[in-house]
Amino acid sequence: MSRRLGIGLLGVGWMGSLHTRSLRRLPDHYPDLATGCDFVVAADPSPGGRRRAVEELGYERAEQDWRAVVEDPRVDLVSVTAPNAFHREMSLAVIHAGKALWVEKPVGRGVAETAEVAGAAARAATISAVGFNYRNVPLVEHAVALIARGTIGRLTGFRGWFLGDYASNPWGPLNWRFSRAGAGSGALGDLMCHVVDLAATLVGPLQEVVASTDVVVPRRPLPTAGDEHFSTLDSPVEPPGDDVPTGPVENEDSARALVRFTGGASGFLEVGRAVVGPHCSLGFEVYGSAGSLRWDFERMNEMGLYRADTPGDAGYRRVLARPGHGEYGRFQPGPAIAMGFDDLKVVEAARLVRAVVSAEKCTPGLPEALAAARALDAMERSALSRAWEPVG
Ligand SMILES: NC(=O)c1ccc[n+]([C@@H]2O[C@H](COP(=O)([O-])OP(=O)(O)OC[C@H]3O[C@@H](n4cnc5c(N)ncnc54)[C@H](O)[C@@H]3O)[C@@H](O)[C@H]2O)c1
């Protein structure tokens, strides 16, 4: 029997558009879900966002005030894709309205806000999904399966990184991402949350960390129009004149952390948003007593697998994504026909909608977001104390 879900959207930017397009693609990739979506109402304070919602994304109407979306009785599931500063208040309203919640990372500007949302959702038995989309990479899921099968033996070490250049241009505007009030932390909340989530998924819970953080570009021009996310050094951002007003960057551009896992492995995690060279290099190496794995999102559909039990031919084997790895078979019929970033959100949408329809838990949800927030909090504490800090 088919069922229809009413969708509401809070924030019609990059992620808001992608959440919507992912839900719209479900019948193509997950016909067995037998669930259709009605795109009921979106909210955005900007007229351009509201126009996009109706004309390009197909919402029946768009509102200036996000509360109208949460209160609409036809809405069953709400995507929270506004800037970080709004996630707590919007998520709590969705939870209290008894609707399903799809919220982008970071869920809160720090551990207190995240814990408040996670606690409210647990009490209300809210079905929630959080935007840890890199878990849905077929080869990441394959890596998890290989580790569980003992292919690389007992885990001893982990190296994880997310190095990007979206803020590498020092003339890029001082948008909400660079303010404590707008974003909370900087590269930690934006990029390290993905790294610690992958670390926990592949290796297990983090126990303690010692970390340092840096600001690479201390001042930026105040924004004039728009709110560009990507201002890379090779993008056409005009250098402003000498008299352009600037403001301080209030959160870190980069962070590095040593980490110990509860299972005994240790690791090194590194993130940067103003790095010149890597564009979107999110990756990991996992070392075990019998082999190792390495993967980078810039080459999402291939992974290196080293096994010590191939005498005479030691070296990394190039494993290409294929049906049987995670959800790959939902998208491509044969090996090495590359999937892309947007497909990962379709997988996320499918897992959430399946959970809503069956009233079951969706993973990763708010408990996993809280675990990540605790690790980031320990890193912030350590950067101040200059000492090892426990996670949680
Ligand atoms: N999971 C991922 O890989 C990923 C990638 C990018 C961004 N994100 C997260 O998604 C969120 C949004 O990022 P983005 O890149 O889409 O930003 P964006 O700037 O492209 O879009 C944000 C939108 O929210 C709107 N907005 C601002 N205030 C609002 C309010 N009060 N009510 C409703 N809408 C409001 C803005 O007008 C804008 O249209 C952030 O929390 C970010 O961390 C996640």
pLDDT score at 1: 47
Long-range pairs, 55-62, Cβ under 8 A, ≥24 = 56/17, 57/9, 57/12, 57/17, 57/20, 57/21, 58/20, 58/24, 59/9, 59/20, 62/12
- How far is CA 162 from each of CA 31, 231, 337, rounded to the nearest angstrom? 34, 17, 25
Could you tell me what percent of the chain has a pLDDT over 70? 96
Q: What is the pLDDT of residues 16-25, one digit of tens each?
A: 999 999 999 9
Residue nearest to atom 11 of ligand 1 (CA): 81
Q: How many CA atoms lie within 13 A of 106 on its CB side?
A: 33
> Could you tell me if the CB of 41 is within 6 A of ligand 1?
no
User: Which atom of ligand 1 is nearest the CA belonging to 49?
Assistant: 39
The preferred substitution site among 9, 14, 88, 346 for testing ligand 1, maximizing ligand atoms within 8 Å of CB, is 14
- Nearest ligand 1 atom, CA 345: 1
Whether the predicted model's global pTM rises above the 0.85 cut: yes
Report the phi/psi class of residue 73: left, alpha or beta, with left for phi > 0 and alpha for psi in -120 to 50.
alpha
pLDDT at 272 over 60: yes
CB of residue 285 inside a 6 A radius of ligand 1: no
- Give burial (CB, 10 Å; 0-12/13-18/19+) of 228: middle
At 274, the pLDDT band (50, 70, 90 cuts) reads very high
**pLDDT over 50 (residue 296):** yes
pLDDT in tens, 171-193: 888 999 999 999 999 999 999 99
Q: Quick one: CATH architecture of 135-339+371-390? A: 2-Layer Sandwich (3.30)
Q: Is the pLDDT of residue 127 over 60?
A: yes
* 82 Cβ closer than 6 Å to some ligand 1 atom: yes
Cβ(100)–Cβ(128) under 8 Å? Answer: yes
Ligand 1 pocket check for 45: Cβ under 6 Å: yes
pLDDT above 70 (res 227): no
Superfamily of domain 3-133: NAD(P)-binding Rossmann-like Domain (3.40.50.720)
Structure tokens at 134: 């890199």
Spacing, Cα 10 to ligand 1 middle (Å) = 9
Share of the chain above pLDDT 90, in %: 89
- Decide whether any atom of ligand 1 lies within 6 Å of the 79 Cβ: no
pLDDT of residue 314: 80
Q: Of residues 2 and 163, which shows the higher confidence score?
A: 163
Would you list the domain boundaries of the chain?
A: 3-133, 135-339+371-390
**Mean pLDDT within 328-344:** 98
